[in-house]
Structure 1
Amino acid sequence: MIDAVVTRNDADSLEAVIRHDLARGDAMAGTVVPILRHLLANDDSSLFGDEIIARVRGMTTDVASQLLDNLKSEGEGVERFEHDPAELASLGDTIIANSAFLTHVHGLALEWQLTERLQARIGLDPVLPPLLQALIAARDESIATIAMNFLTAQARFCQAQRRMRLPLSELPGDLLHAAIVAMRTIAEASSDSEAKARAAEQRIRGSFDESRTRLGLVSRLVSGMGGGAIAALSASHAGVATFLTALAMGAGQDRDAVALSTNESQCIRLALSLRCAGVKPAAIEEQFVLLHPEATLPEGFGSLGPDRAAAILSFGNYYPGE
């Protein structure tokens, strides 16, 4: 339970406990990327589990394969090629040298893991959760249109995750740029390859529209809800994808960091983010019953207001690692 009655001394003690737990969780978060990179390089999944490592590796390899397809294609269209495993591995290593990229694909893997878990546990539709159904039927045509487009994008995401793939067209703009830089890096060996790299870059950028990506659409959807976006802060109502985006926007946090906060080692960051976003203590408790039924929050957490939660979060030291 979340206790809301505390004295001033209790409040000071509560914040000390929360800061301690947050620092411990953030220290663990800071090791994620270097450990992931090591496990990917050494084909070891003992610390993260086979599913997460396989999915991160699959998405990274798929991105590398698409880049090589573009590099080797002629004209406007993109052909599919069989690539030398060593060439794929080399480009993949260059891609995951970018910590932000590795953090992102790890966040997507965690998002899908939670999506499957809630589908199995409560029957939550991974494509059409209750909130999205309501938004598709909204009187506001602009919201309904975005909701329909997001539905289509979410269906594609689910299909891609089952295949452990990640389309270039679904990357955030800065990470697409990083992937292109990685492609150009391996193309520096010859002037001919450099020319092909320029053509490939133009082809990739020419077909990219970040506002039409799944994450772009769900961000527009949550923004368009205005004050009603509080409804998106329930994973069982909004679905995992919309929940993560709404929480990131409401708490002023990075979405990939929010995805990581759904891990059991990051419970205090998740609770603080929910409170910072304006979720009431009773509703936070409901989310924990759903996501972490065995977790307990510090006594008196319910007395913490959104402003104090935001202040404590601002002292956190979450970083993706190097």
Structure 2
Amino acid sequence: MSEPTTTVPDYGSIDEVLRRELAQGDAQIASIAPILRHLLANDEHSVFGDEIIARVRAMLAHIASQLLDALAEAGEEDDERNHDPVRVESLVEGLAGQGSFLTHAHALALEWQLTERLQARLALDPVVSPLMQALIASTEANVSAGAMSLLAQQARFAQSQRRMQLPLEELPADLFHAALLALRHHGELDDAAQAIAAQAEQVIRGRYDEGRSRLGLITRLVAGMGGGASAALSVTHAGAGIFLTALSMASGQDRDLAVLATNESQVARFALALRASGLKPQSIEEQFVALHPEVELPQGFDQLGADRAAAMLAHSAAYPGG
């Protein structure tokens, strides 16, 4: 896909080019969760210094620590923050055994990596994008208030990623529920311990509101833009977080998969997602200039309709564990 052709192929040819590259991307996707699980289990990331692997492990460990914090608080332990490393590791292994946790943490790590890259290359602020500034300045009070709430959550996301943390309250609802199940089934619990675990779970649930999470606020913001949501499909205007949610919503993909599509090994998926979202070839080229300036769209890409791109994505692989 990175090599432009010398002649403009017919419609069938561009389909074949994209199908072939999408299949190669699917094969890589299928290997992500097993490889992550292997690297986490064997600590090989400490040898290779892989930032993504280290970040994924740290986020899972942070989730485990928060669950144990709540358990210790419910049990009124004196030193509630000093957890046995064996207990933390046991919970991490349980979480890592679920592909959905691995792929979500992986997607967040990739999103932050993209955010930092855009800041370094294009001086795009990781918290306040031009679109965010415009929404904050909106004369509509609900739009401005929603943007201000998102601004605060985006700042917290940046801080959490710098610390390699993932607050429980920021998990999607299905993963939040799975985390509580992991706590409930952690270790051999007698009746008294089960009662404490139930109390801890109740406290954690009381603090959770998916709609107030960063991803919940972004989804509401993009949905509220209506016909103006196309502005969110410009990564340099919207910033990585809003852009990725808008891409997910417009292309019909899971957000974690939309994040993965921005990786340099998934350029066919990225191009198809942008086209399925309704972007014209010129706008798609602008996104490639921002994210993959060394990649050129293949000749004949402009012949591919949005419906056809969406159909090709629909027959592609889903993110494992999602």
Whether these two folds match at TM > 0.5 is yes
The letter for the 2-side match of 1:31 is S
**Residues 116 and 199 (structure 1 numbering): CA distance in 2 closer, same or farther, change over 3 Å?**
same
Taking the aligned partners of 2:268 and 2:193, their CA distance within structure 1 comes to 49
The letter for the 2-side match of 1:11 is Y
Taking the aligned partners of 1:56 and 1:78, their CA distance within structure 2 comes to 30
In terms of mean alpha carbon deviation, does 70-79 or 160-169 score higher?
Answer: 70-79
Structure 2 unaligned regions, length at least 5: none
Equivalence for 2:292: 292
**Residues 192 and 102 (structure 1 numbering): CA distance in 2 closer, same or farther, change over 3 Å?**
same
- Secondary structure at the aligned position of 1:73 is classed as helix
Equivalence for 1:100: 100
Taking the aligned partners of 1:228 and 1:110, their CA distance within structure 2 comes to 27
**Residues 105 and 47 (structure 1 numbering): CA distance in 2 closer, same or farther, change over 3 Å?**
farther
* Cα drift, residue 75 of structure 1: 7.8
Taking the aligned partners of 2:67 and 2:87, their CA distance within structure 1 comes to 11
1:213-224 to 2 correspondences below 5 Å = 213-224=213-224
- Secondary structure at the aligned position of 1:31 is classed as helix
**Residues 88 and 46 (structure 1 numbering): CA distance in 2 closer, same or farther, change over 3 Å?**
closer
Equivalence for 2:74: 74
8 Å CA contact 2:261–2:269 kept in 1: the answer is yes
8 Å CA contact 2:103–2:319 kept in 1: the answer is no
The letter for the 1-side match of 2:17 is V
1:8-27 to 2 correspondences below 5 Å = 10-27=10-27
* Cα drift, residue 13 of structure 1: 1.4
8 Å CA contact 1:76–1:203 kept in 2: the answer is no
Equivalence for 2:193: 193
8 Å CA contact 1:188–1:194 kept in 2: the answer is no
Taking the aligned partners of 2:51 and 2:305, their CA distance within structure 1 comes to 37
* Cα drift, residue 46 of structure 1: 8.9
Equivalence for 1:158: 158
Residue 145 of structure 2 corresponds to residue 141 of structure 1:
no
8 Å CA contact 2:285–2:297 kept in 1: the answer is no
* Cα drift, residue 49 of structure 1: 5.8
The letter for the 2-side match of 1:309 is A
The letter for the 2-side match of 1:132 is M
Equivalence for 1:259: 259
Equivalence for 2:203: 203
Equivalence for 2:65: 65
CA deviations 1:210-230 (Å, max 9, x no partner) are 100000000000000001010
CA deviations 1:212-255 (Å, max 9, x no partner) are 00000000000000010100001111000000000000001000
Equivalence for 1:91: 91
In terms of mean alpha carbon deviation, does 67-76 or 95-104 score higher?
Answer: 67-76
Residue 304 of structure 2 corresponds to residue 320 of structure 1:
no
Identical-pair percentage: 57
Give the TM-score taking structure 1 as reference length. Answer: 0.94
Equivalence for 1:271: 271
Taking the aligned partners of 2:192 and 2:316, their CA distance within structure 1 comes to 48
Taking the aligned partners of 1:78 and 1:262, their CA distance within structure 2 comes to 46
Residue 155 of structure 2 corresponds to residue 174 of structure 1:
no
CA deviations 1:134-178 (Å, max 9, x no partner) are 001112211111110000000000001000011111111110000
- Secondary structure at the aligned position of 1:317 is classed as coil
CA deviations 1:109-141 (Å, max 9, x no partner) are 000000001111111000001000000111221
**Residues 247 and 76 (structure 1 numbering): CA distance in 2 closer, same or farther, change over 3 Å?**
farther
Residue 137 of structure 2 corresponds to residue 117 of structure 1:
no
Taking the aligned partners of 1:77 and 1:167, their CA distance within structure 2 comes to 22
1:242-257 to 2 correspondences below 5 Å = 242-257=242-257
